[in-house]
C-alpha cells in the first residue's frame, strides 16, 4: 500500500513519460509471502532511464536508515531487471532514497542517491509553473500532481473571501 509521497512520485514519473510500477512485491517465498516490496520502479522508454525510488516519511537516526535502505537497494538490484522482461534495459540503473525528514549535506544513503522531498517538490512546482492549467492541465488521473499545478498558479492571495474565511 502506498503513501502520498509514493503516489506523488509515481504520478510525476508517469507525467514525465515513464512506465511506472508501484508497491511491487518481490522475492516470492516458497512457503508464502515475499522478501519485500519496492516502492517505485520506473522506466523511461525514450531516454532508457531506469529508476528505483524508495520513499520515506520517517525521522529515524541515520544508522537505522542506512541499514534499511542498504537492504532495500540490494533487493532492488536483485529484482528490478526481471520486472521489465523483454525490454531492452540499461546495464545500470538509478536508485534514489526520497526522504521527507532530515537535512544536511549528505548525498547518498544505502548505496543510492539521496533526494529531499523539499527539492523534489521544488522540481515539480518549477516545471508546473510553466504549464498553465487552462492551457495544459494535468490529466485528472493524476490528482496530486493536478492539485500542485493549481497551487503553483493560484497560490498568491487574491484578496477575496475564501471557502471558509467567507
Is residue 126 one of the residues assigned to a domain? no
Q: What residue numbers bound the domain in which 51 lies?
A: 4-116
50 inside domain = yes
Burial call 59-88: b when 16+ CB within 10 Å, e when fewer: eeeeeebbebbeebbebbeebbeebbeeee
In a domain, 83, yes or no: yes
Number of domains in the chain: 1
Q: Is residue 166 part of a domain?
A: no
Number of neighbours of residue 45 by Cβ within 10 angstroms = 12
pLDDT at 159: 66
**Residues whose CB is less than 8 angstroms from the CB of residue 117 and which lie 6 or more positions away in sequence, other chains included:** 5, 98, 99, 100
Cell of 24: 511491487
Average pLDDT of the chain to the nearest whole number: 91
Nearest to 149 by CA among 166, 127, 119: 127
Residue 136 lies in a domain: no
In a domain? residue 54: yes
Alpha-helical segments (H) within the chain: 4-15, 62-79, 117-129, 143-154
The model's pLDDT over 89-146, given as tens digits with 9 standing for 90+, comes to: 888 899 999 999 887 788 999 999 999 999 999 999 999 999 888 899 999 999 999 9
Q: How far is CA 152 from CA 10, 128, 131, 132, 160, in A?
A: 19, 7, 10, 9, 18
Query: Chain-centre distance of CA 155, in angstroms?
Result: 24
Does any domain span residue 122? no
> Is residue 22 assigned to a domain?
yes
**Domain at 108, CATH number:** 3.40.1350
What's the pLDDT tens digit per position in 49-88?
Answer: 999 999 999 989 999 999 999 999 999 999 999 998 888 8
pTM, 2 dp: 0.90
Amino acid at each position: 500500500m502506498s503513501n502520498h509521497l509514493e503516489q506523488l512520485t509515481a504520478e510525476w514519473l508517469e507525467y514525465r513519460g515513464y512506465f511506472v510500477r508501484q508497491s511491487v512485491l518481490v522475492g516470492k517465498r516458497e512457503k508464502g509471502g515475499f522478501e519485500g516490496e519496492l516502492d517505485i520502479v520506473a522506466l523511461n522508454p525514450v531516454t532508457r532511464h531506469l529508476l528505483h525510488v524508495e520513499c520515506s516519511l520517517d525521522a529515524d537516526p541515520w544508522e537505522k536508515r542506512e541499514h534499511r535502505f542498504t537492504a532495500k537497494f540490494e533487493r532492488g538490484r536483485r529484482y528490478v531487471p526481471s520486472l521489465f522482461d523483454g525490454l531492452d534495459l540499461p546495464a545500470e540503473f538509478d536508485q534514489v532514497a526520497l526522504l521527507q525528514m532530515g537535512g544536511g549535506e549528505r548525498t547518498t544513503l544505502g548505496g543510492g542517491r539521496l533526494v529531499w522531498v523539499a527539492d523534489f517538490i521544488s522540481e515539480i512546482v518549477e516545471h508546473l509553473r510553466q504549464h498553465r492549467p487552462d492551457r495544459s492541465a494535468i490529466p485528472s488521473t493524476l490528482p496530486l500532481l493536478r492539485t500542485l499545478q493549481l497551487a503553483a498558479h493560484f497560490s498568491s492571495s487574491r484578496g477575496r473571501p475564501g471557502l471558509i474565511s467567507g
